[in-house]
Amino acid sequence: MNQMTLLRNPKQRKLLFSAGLSWMFDAMDVGMISFVVAALAKDWSLGPEQVGILTSINSVGMAVGAAAAGILADRFGRKPVLLWTLLIFSIASGLSAFAAGFGILCVLRFIAGVGLGGELPVASTLVSESMPANQRGRAVVLLESFWALGWIVSALIAFFIIPDYGWRIAFGIGALPALYALYLRRAIDDSPRFAEIKRKPISLRNRIATVWSPEYRRSTIMLWILWFTVVFSYYGMFLWLPTVMVIKGFSLVKSFEYVLIMTLAQLPGYFTAAYFIEKFGRKFVLVVYLLFTAVSAAWFGNATTEGMLLAAGICLSFFNLGAWGGMYAYTPELYPTSIRSTGVGLATSFGRIGGIIAPLLVGVLVGRSMAIGTIFMLFFVTILVGAAAVLFLGKETKGTELL
């Protein structure tokens, strides 16, 4: 089977594209937050700590949503849970446009986060279970590449709409995925593997016990470390990018423009990872891309010229998002179908704790006037820990059939 066979199979192509669009809407909403908080900080006179709270509250919801959706998807199916999470986050995002104050906006962002956090692990599990072994990793990385499209859309909205029309319009656009959920209900089928085990469901207690059983404990520990370090560094760096650009002396509009350019670099990062993941394996992609992400983070934090800042940001986007693709492809392959969504959801949920801590921590450190270079060295070390976990604890799953 050549590399393009996946794209020639109508059913697989339709599933990948349909799930990919829901993934894109997720990314659009998360990306919107990073741009909106920069504008909100000016409109509502928010301090760094409040900016950190607003970005972190979304991750609190994502942690709750990831665990809940993963557990529910092993009980009720991947497709229905995917649709409900899509509806939850899009409705909450649309209502965010009408928030009258900081408190109510935080509540709505928490609810949106529940939907966002639940959709991602369920969508990756659905695609992983629906693809042949020698195309599975590439398919999930290509699914993850829709994340870059969502960030590009959010960056375009930030560049063309927020400066002239305000952040409320941007949140209003986030309600559109609710309409897409109606299409998705008829467009995709549930995982054929889930249909096989539906007749003999396992209790929640036994599913969690199996995730931590001797057979899967090493993989679970590795995944929890990997997810925590990657999510911690990503949300700490990327949700603060526009604000960091302003701190470094660029105007708000100019910072949006630069972040858009950096975001475009995510696409080749995904596509190269999609190629290498089936050629050299999951561990190769994760370890190599994480190492280069760490180097790029240190470079970005200590960049002293406009050219260096842009080049480092492009490298950071390229390697970090390529690693994300590898992580989403790798995670479902380490568990059997009966507990797969639970295992993926729990690992993702634990990772989201890093997404809660990092934006808050950056807000506190910026508020105390800590140098941006020092803050990014923290991410440098964190990412190296994640790479080491995969290198020493991970097992290669390239080409293996799912259990």
Return the H-helix or E-strand segment holding 346. helix 340-367
C-alpha angle with apex 37: 36 to 38, nearest 5 degrees? 90
Cβ 163 vs Cβ 257: under 8 Å: no
pLDDT under 50: residue ranges of the chain? 1-4, 253
What does the block give as tokens for 23?
A: 């993934």
Segment 77-108, tens digit of pLDDT: 888 888 888 888 888 888 988 888 888 989 99
SS3 state at 335: coil
According to the model, what pLDDT value does residue 264 have? 81
* Residue 288 C-beta-side C-alpha neighbours within 13 Å: 15
According to the model, what pLDDT value does residue 8 have? 61
Using CA atoms, how far apart are residues 291 and 268, in angstroms rounded to an integer? 17
Using CA atoms, how far apart are residues 25 and 79, in angstroms rounded to an integer? 17
Q: Which of 198, 211, 195, 239 shows the shortest CA–CA distance to 358?
A: 239
What does the block give as tokens for 310?
A: 């842009």
Q: CA-CA-CA-CA torsion for 363, 270, 187, 199, nearest 10 degrees?
A: -80
Q: Which of 363, 220, 380 shows the shortest CA–CA distance to 297?
A: 380
Cβ 109 vs Cβ 61: under 8 Å: yes
φ and ψ of 303, to 5 deg:
-65, 135
What does the block give as tokens for 377?
A: 């060295």
CA 210 to chain centre: 26
According to the model, what pLDDT value does residue 2 have? 45
Ordered by where they begin, the domains of the chain are 10-187+204-393 (1.20.1250.20)
Using CA atoms, how far apart are residues 151 and 320, in angstroms rounded to an integer? 14
Using CA atoms, how far apart are residues 30 and 17, in angstroms rounded to an integer? 20
SS3 state at 3: coil
Residue recorded with tokens 């923290």: 378
- Give the torsion sign (CA, 367, 371, 374, 376): positive
Q: How many CB atoms lie within 10 A of CB 371?
A: 12
Residues 6+ apart with CB under 8 A from 291: 383, 384, 387
What does the block give as tokens for 160?
A: 């063309």
Residues 6+ apart with CB under 8 A from 402: 128, 129, 133, 136, 193, 332, 333, 336, 337, 340
According to the model, what pLDDT value does residue 241 have? 67
Q: Which of 134, 161, 155, 187 shows the shortest CA–CA distance to 16?
A: 187
Residue recorded with tokens 């870059």: 148
What does the block give as tokens for 318?
A: 């390229």
Segment 342-351, tens digit of pLDDT: 998 899 999 9
Q: How many CB atoms lie within 10 A of CB 197?
A: 16
Cβ 34 vs Cβ 238: under 8 Å: yes
